[in-house]
Amino acid sequence: MDTQAAVLRVQNRPVSVETLQIDPPKRGEVLIKMVGAGVCHSDYHYVDGHLTNFVGPMILGHEGAGTVEDVGEGVDWLNPGDKVILSLDSMCGRCRNCTDGHPSLCEVNFTYASTMPDGTTRFHKNGERINHRTPTFTEYSMAPENKCVLVPDDTNLEAACLISCGIITGVGAVVNRAKVPTGATMAVFGCGGVGLSVVQGGRLANAAQIIAVDTVDFKLEKAEEMGATHFVNAAKEDPVARIHEITGGGADYAFEVVGLPSIAKQAFNSTRPLGTTVLVGVFPTGAEMAVDGWELLRGRTILGNWHGDGRPRVDFLWLLEMEKQGKLKLDEMITRYRPLSEINEAFADMNAGEAARSVLTFG
Ligand SMILES: [Zn+2]
Ligand SMILES: [Zn+2]
């Protein structure tokens, strides 16, 4: 069947919306009619060349939710019409990390390649192979069944799509990875969609102080809406000095949500001895970070964070429940809905610092 999809052919060029052909689902696969797809900074990192593991042409998008259209052989637990949120990572369910509660770092299915986990692709254009992981900037997507999280029928998929990347990465960094305890102080460097989710995670974890750091005042205002308690515009004042002042000696936790080694260093320097720095932002391919070894010796920790160390079939349902109870803000995270055809405009909104999150919809 045909599907409209946003395809990146060459880096540093606009994305084109093209008509592609998609194969029927193979064994263990699910064909999904997309309803909502969040526009995440890491999609743009393919466009701007930050991520060099790009092999074009490739369909973009990785954050999304939709309804089951068809299932391949052996998928006996999903039916057409079921609502699903797509998990970012494919979990085998058998490896050490999967069975130890860390399926986002599955040792069998993890791949940087722009293909299905088995190394093949399902999209093409008149015979030309089109690369993809589990793409969401497309009317129809294809996912291995282990990436599908069945959600309740009353779920608003246009907003819930954010859970699959932005929300789980941010909230999970706080709750699953750092395990921030009640009463801790924390600083959040970068208040885009993921950073705002870190702020929300801090609120869910009952952090005492949540210090939002950004260079765009609009994002700091959004951070306040999400529960941040203090605000630092890093274009106007030194965030490290200010965080030491606010917390009286440094934050217990500092989250880097920009994806730059220089900001990671600032985050590290804003923690107190025994404090923890959590790397959440996506670094450019091959980037390294340096910190003062003596300051590290003073009991500090640096943690990596991959997709919030999420357990999709537990955490996504928990997050939906938190939203129902008014404890997690989803609608408020979305600044604009745009049709798929306006993908380049959605990237422009993001780069102008305008959008906390844009969501693409499928007419
Ligand atoms: Zn993302
Ligand atoms: Zn696994």
pLDDT digits (tens, 9 = 90+) for 278-314: 999 988 888 999 999 999 999 999 999 999 999 999 9
Q: What is the pLDDT of residues 54-97, one digit of tens each?
A: 888 999 999 999 999 999 999 999 999 999 999 988 899 999 99
- 191 in active site: no
Ligand 2: distance of its center to the CA of 117 in Å?
A: 12
Rounded Cα gap, residues 40 and 172, in angstroms: 17
Residue 286 vs residue 251, higher pLDDT? 251
Q: Tell me the CA distances in angstroms from 211 to 49, 158, 199, 248, 333, one per residue in order.
A: 31, 29, 8, 13, 18
Ligand whose nearest atom lies closest to the CA of 307? 1
Burial group, residue 304, by CB count within 10 angstroms (0-12, 13-18, 19+):
exposed
- 40 in active site: yes
Alpha helices by DSSP H, the chain = 41-47, 96-99, 157-160, 166-172, 193-204, 217-226, 239-247, 261-269, 293-297, 312-324, 343-351
Kindly report the number of other CB atoms within 10 A of residue 236's CB atom.
10
Ligand 2: distance of its center to the CA of 93 in Å?
A: 5
Angle made by CA atoms 307, 310, 312, in degrees to the nearest 5: 115
Pairing of strands 83-86, 63-71: antiparallel
- Quick check: helix, strand or coil at residue 247? helix
Q: What domains, with CATH codes, occur in the chain?
A: 2-164+329-361 (3.90.180.10), 170-306 (3.40.50.720)
Q: Which residues contact 340 (CB under 8 A, 6 or more apart)?
A: 4, 5, 6, 17, 37, 137, 138, 139, 360, 361, 362, 363
Decide if 84 contacts 148 (C-beta within 8 A). yes
pLDDT over 90 (residue 356): no
pLDDT over 90 (residue 177): yes
- 42 in active site: yes
Angle made by CA atoms 251, 329, 321, in degrees to the nearest 5: 105
Q: What is the mean pLDDT of residues 7-13?
A: 94
Kindly report the number of other CB atoms within 10 A of residue 78's CB atom.
16
> DSSP class of residue 138?
B
Average pLDDT, whole number, for the chain?
A: 95
Alpha helices by DSSP H, 35-123 = 41-47, 96-99
Rounded Cα gap, residues 257 and 332, in angstroms: 19
Structure-block tokens of residue 255: 């989250």
Q: Which of 41, 50, 62, 132 is catalytic?
A: 62
Q: Which of 98, 106, 161, 165 is catalytic?
A: 165
* Confidence (pLDDT) at 37: 97
Structure-block tokens of residue 48: 């701007």
Q: Tokens 């068809």 map to which residue?
A: 70
* Confidence (pLDDT) at 285: 81
Structure-block tokens of residue 289: 């970070």
* Confidence (pLDDT) at 41: 84
Ligand whose nearest atom lies closest to the CA of 105? 2
Decide if 75 contacts 28 (C-beta within 8 A). yes
* Confidence (pLDDT) at 21: 98
Q: What is the mean pLDDT of residues 116-128?
A: 92
Ligand 1: distance of its center to the CA of 80 in Å?
A: 26
Ligand whose nearest atom lies closest to the CA of 109? 2
Ligand 2: distance of its center to the CA of 307 in Å?
A: 15
Ligand whose nearest atom lies closest to the CA of 46? 1
pLDDT over 90 (residue 118): no
Ligand 2: distance of its center to the CA of 325 in Å?
A: 32
Determine the distance from the C-alpha atom of residue 159 to the mean position of all C-alpha atoms in its chain, rounded to a whole number: 14
* Confidence (pLDDT) at 240: 98
Ligand 1: distance of its center to the CA of 248 in Å?
A: 34
- 161 in active site: no
Q: What is the pLDDT of residues 337-355, one digit of tens each?
A: 999 999 999 999 888 876 6
Q: In this structure, what are the phi and psi dihedrals at residue 68, rounded to the nearest 5 degrees?
A: -70, 130
Ligand 2: distance of its center to the CA of 100 in Å?
A: 9
Decide if 135 contacts 60 (C-beta within 8 A). yes
Burial group, residue 80, by CB count within 10 angstroms (0-12, 13-18, 19+):
exposed
Q: Which of 42, 87, 104, 114 is catalytic?
A: 42
Ligand 2: distance of its center to the CA of 11 in Å?
A: 32
Buried b (16+ CB within 10 A) or exposed e, 336-347: bebebebbeebb
